[in-house]
C-alpha cells in the first residue's frame, strides 16, 4: 500500500474521532462547567451561529494590546526573545536588567506599574476616533493574567499594578457604551516559553541555565517566595523538536511538526482561566491568536470555550485564524496584518497595529504607520465585508506617546466627517476597481500581506452602500481634480439610476457626468488629508 494511502487513512480516522468528540487531550469541566444551551461543542452545532448584525454594522474597533511586555519597550514577544542569546531584545535585557538566569521575565512583572493609566479617558478618546467596539488583552503568550485571576497567581492584581486591569477596562467600555472584546493568547506559553529552558552557549555564563526551570522551592527568601515559576513558564516538559531553532515555533503553531503536546492540566488551566474571565466581565467578543481554536485539533477546549460564549451571549463573536470554509461559518475569520483581495461572503476581521503589538521604542523612533495608510486599509476592508481592529500601542505606564496622539487626531478628523461611509454599510455588487483591486494578492498563512496594499492612489476606488446611498471612496486626491469611476459608466447594469450630481462628504454637491468611460467628477481642492468620499443617492 502506498504511504500516501496509509496517511490518508490515518487522517480520516483522526478527524472522524474528533468529529465524534474523541479528542486526545479532553478538557476537564470540574472547576468551570461549560454553559449549556442552544449550542453544543461541535462544528455542526456552532455553524448554526450567525455573526451578529451589530458587528457587521460596527466596522471598526480599537485594541489595547497592553501588558507587562511593554516594560522594556523592546516590542512584541520580548518575554520569549529575552532568552535568545545574541538576540537584540536579549542584549537589551542583559545590559539594562541582568542575565536571564538571575533576572528573568518573572522579575520584569513587578516593574509593570500602569501608574498613569486612565482607562475611562483612553476609551473615550478611542470612541471619538470612531471605535464601535473596544478590545483588551486578557493574557498574552507570557501567561500573565491581567485580572484578579482565580487560576493563575501570576496576575496583575497580585504582581505589578496590583489592579484588576480587565475589571477597569470593562467598566470604562460599559460607561462609553462600547461592546467589550478580550483576547486570550496564553495557550501557547507551553512552547513559546521554551527558550527559558536554555543556557548561554558562549561567554562567562556558558552552560548556566536560565530561570525557566525554577520551581516553587527555589523561591525561599526571594521576592517571589510562595509562587511557583512553573505556573508562569510552564516548562516542566521536554522541549519541542528543533526548539533551539528560534523559528521552529511558527511551523508548530497548530501543535504539529514535533511540538511538545500540552498536558491536560495545562489545557484545563487555560480553559478555566478563560471561562473565569468570560463569566466575570461578560465580553461580546473573544479573540484567539491560534490556528482555528486553542489546542485544536488536540483538544476540545477551544470548542467548549466558543460554545460557552455563544450560549452565554447570543450576540457574541469568537475569532479564529486559518479557517476552512466550514469553520468560517462557526467562527468569525480573523486576518492578521492583511486582507483578502476579494469580497468575502461571511463577515470577517483584520487585526492590525500602527506599530509593534507591544510598545517598542525603536518603532516609535522610526515612526508609526500613517493615519492615511490605515484609513485606506479600513475602506478597502469594509468594501470586502470586513471590519478592522486596530491596536494603538501603550507604554508600560498606560499612556500613548505624542506620535500615537497625532495619529489619533488625524484619524478622528477623517472619521468625524466621513464615518457615515463606514459604519452600518454593506458591500456593493463589487468591492472596487483600480490597479490594486486587479492584483492577485495571496494570504500568507494567517495574513501578513498588508504591504501589497501600500501605495494605493486615486485610481484605486472602493464601494460600499446603505439602503439609501452608494459610497465611492478614492484612495487619494487626483492632482488635476478629475476623478473617473469606471464602474459607474453610462448604462451600467450595476447602478441603473442616472447620475447627474454627487455629494462630496465634508464639502457639498458636485456636478457629475456619466459617459461610456465612466462617471466623471470634478473635485474641488482637498477638504481632508486622506481620501475623498462621494455619496450618491440610489
- Per-residue pLDDT tens for 297-337? 999 999 999 999 999 999 999 999 999 999 999 999 999 99
At 22, is the pLDDT very low, low, confident or very high (cuts 50, 70, 90)?
confident
Higher pLDDT, 74 or 17: 74
20 pLDDT exceeds 60?
no
The pLDDT tens digits for 449-492 are 999 999 899 999 999 999 999 999 999 999 999 999 999 999 99
15 pLDDT exceeds 90?
no
Higher pLDDT, 17 or 455: 455
For residue 303, which of 261, 331, 329 has the smallest C-alpha distance? 331
- Report yes or no: 295 and 263 within 8 Å, Cβ to Cβ: no
Q: CA-CA distance, 435 to 482, in Å (whole number)?
A: 17
229 pLDDT exceeds 60?
yes
Instruction: Output the furthest CA–CA distance in the chain (Å, rounded).
Output: 82
For residue 73, which of 27, 40, 108, 106 has the smallest C-alpha distance? 108
* Portion of the chain with pLDDT greater than 90, in percent: 95
Mean pLDDT of the chain: 95
Higher pLDDT, 221 or 16: 221
- Report yes or no: 32 and 276 within 8 Å, Cβ to Cβ: yes
- Burial of 466 from C-beta contacts in 10 A (0-12 / 13-18 / 19+): middle
The pLDDT tens digits for 122-174 are 999 999 999 999 999 999 999 999 999 999 999 999 999 999 999 999 999 99
| C-alpha 314, offset from chain centre | 22
The pLDDT tens digits for 83-105 are 999 999 999 999 999 999 999 99
Angle at which helices 264-281 and 165-176 cross, to 10°: 40
6 pLDDT exceeds 60?
no
In this predicted structure, what is the pLDDT of residue 9? 37
Q: What angle do CA 284, 290, 292 make, to 5 degrees?
A: 80
Query: For the residues 250-261, what does the mean pLDDT come to?
Result: 97
8-state DSSP, 407: H
In this predicted structure, what is the pLDDT of residue 444? 87
DSSP assignments along 190-227, one per residue: HHHTGGGG-BBSSSTTBT-B-GGG--GGGGTTSTTTT-
At 21, is the pLDDT very low, low, confident or very high (cuts 50, 70, 90)?
low
Alpha carbon of 327 to those of 42, 46, 331, 333: distances in Å?
11, 9, 6, 8
Query: For the residues 409-438, what does the mean pLDDT come to?
Result: 98
In this predicted structure, what is the pLDDT of residue 244? 98
| pTM (two decimals) | 0.95
Backbone angles phi, psi at 209, to 5 degrees: -70, 145
Cα atoms in the Cβ-side hemisphere of radius 13 Å centred on 440: 0
Q: Which of 56-70, 234-248, 438-452 has the lowest mean pLDDT?
A: 438-452
At 359, is the pLDDT very low, low, confident or very high (cuts 50, 70, 90)?
very high
Q: In what order do the strands lie in the sheet with 461-465?
A: 432-433, 461-465, 469-474, 533-537, 501-504, 508-514, 519-522, 482-485
- Write a three-state SS string for 107-166: HHHHHCCCCCCCHHHHHHHHHHCCCCEEEEEEECCCCCECCCCCCCCCECCCCCCCCCHH
| C-alpha 436, offset from chain centre | 24
Angle at which helices 402-418 and 371-383 cross, to 10°: 40
The pLDDT tens digits for 366-383 are 999 999 999 999 999 999
Amino acid at each position: 500500500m502506498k504511504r500516501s494511502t496509509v496517511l490518508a487513512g490515518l487522517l480520516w480516522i483522526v478527524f472522524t474521532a474528533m468529529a465524534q468528540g474523541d479528542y486526545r487531550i479532553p478538557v476537564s469541566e470540574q472547576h468551570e462547567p461549560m454553559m449549556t444551551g442552544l449550542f453544543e461543542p461541535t462544528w455542526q452545532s456552532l455553524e448554526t451561529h450567525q455573526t451578529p448584525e451589530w458587528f457587521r454594522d460596527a466596522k471598526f474597533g480599537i485594541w489595547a494590546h497592553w501588558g507587562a511586555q511593554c516594560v522594556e519597550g523592546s516590542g512584541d514577544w520580548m518575554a520569549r526573545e529575552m532568552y535568545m542569546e545574541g538576540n537584540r531584545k536579549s542584549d537589551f535585557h542583559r545590559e539594562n536588567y541582568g542575565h536571564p538566569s538571575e533576572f528573568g521575565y518573572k522579575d520584569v512583572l513587578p516593574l509593570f506599574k500602569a501608574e498613569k493609566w486612565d482607562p475611562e479617558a483612553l476609551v473615550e478618546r478611542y470612541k471619538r476616533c470612531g471605535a464601535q467596539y473596544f478590545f483588551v488583552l486578557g493574557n498574552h503568550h507570557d501567561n500573565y493574567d491581567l485580572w484578579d485571576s482565580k487560576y493563575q497567581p501570576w496576575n496583575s492584581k497580585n504582581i505589578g499594578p496590583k489592579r484588576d486591569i480587565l475589571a477597569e477596562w470593562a467598566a470604562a467600555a460599559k460607561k462609553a457604551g462600547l461592546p467589550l472584546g478580550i483576547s486570550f493568547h496564553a495557550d501557547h506559553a507551553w512552547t513559546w516559553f521554551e527558550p527559558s529552558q536554555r543556557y548561554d552557549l558562549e561567554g562567562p555564563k556558558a552552560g548556566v541555565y536560565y530561570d525557566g526551570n525554577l520551581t516553587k522551592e527555589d523561591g525561599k527568601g526571594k521576592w517571589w517566595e510562595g509562587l511557583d515559576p512553573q505556573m508562569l513558564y510552564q516548562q516542566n516538559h521536554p522541549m519541542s523538536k528543533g526548539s533551539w531553532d528560534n523559528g521552529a515555533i511558527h511551523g508548530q503553531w497548530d501543535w504539529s511538526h514535533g511540538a511538545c503536546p500540552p498536558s491536560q492540566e495545562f489545557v484545563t488551566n487555560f480553559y478555566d482561566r478563560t471561562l473565569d474571565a468570560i463569566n466575570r466581565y461578560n465580553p461580546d467578543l473573544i479573540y484567539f491568536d491560534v490556528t482555528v481554536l486553542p489546542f485544536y485539533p488536540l483538544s476540545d477546549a477551544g470548542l467548549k470555550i466558543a460554545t460557552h460564549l455563544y450560549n452565554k451571549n447570543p450576540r457574541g463573536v469568537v475569532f479564529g485564524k486559518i479557517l476552512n470554509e466550514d469553520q468560517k461559518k462557526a467562527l468569525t475569520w480573523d486576518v492578521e496584518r492583511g486582507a483578502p483581495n476579494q469580497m468575502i461572503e461571511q463577515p470577517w476581521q483584520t487585526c492590525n497595529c500602527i506599530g509593534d503589538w507591544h510598545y517598542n521604542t525603536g518603532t516609535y523612533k522610526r515612526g508609526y504607520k500613517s493615519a492615511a495608510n490605515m484609513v485606506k486599509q479600513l475602506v478597502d476592508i469594509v468594501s470586502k465585508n470586513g471590519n478592522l481592529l486596530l491596536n494603538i500601542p501603550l507604554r508600560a505606564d498606560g499612556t500613548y506617546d505624542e506620535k500615537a496622539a497625532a495619529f489619533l487626531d488625524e484619524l478622528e478628523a477623517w472619521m468625524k466627517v466621513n464615518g457615515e461611509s463606514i459604519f452600518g454599510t454593506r458591500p456593493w455588487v463589487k468591492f472596487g476597481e483600480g490597479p490594486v483591486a486587479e492584483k492577485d494578492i495571496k494570504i500568507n498563512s494567517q495574513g501578513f500581506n498588508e504591504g501589497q496594499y501600500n501605495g494605493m492612489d486615486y485610481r484605486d476606488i472602493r464601494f460600499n452602500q446603505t439602503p439609501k446611498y452608494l459610497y465611492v471612496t478614492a484612495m487619494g486626491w487626483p492632482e488635476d481634480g478629475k476623478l473617473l469611476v469606471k464602474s459607474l459608466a453610462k448604462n451600467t447594469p450595476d447602478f441603473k439610476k442616472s447620475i447627474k450630481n454627487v455629494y462630496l462628504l465634508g464639502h457639498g454637491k458636485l456636478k457629475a457626468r456619466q459617459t461610456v468611460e465612466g462617471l466623471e467628477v470634478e473635485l474641488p481642492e482637498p477638504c481632508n488629508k486622506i481620501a475623498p468620499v462621494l455619496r450618491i443617492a440610489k
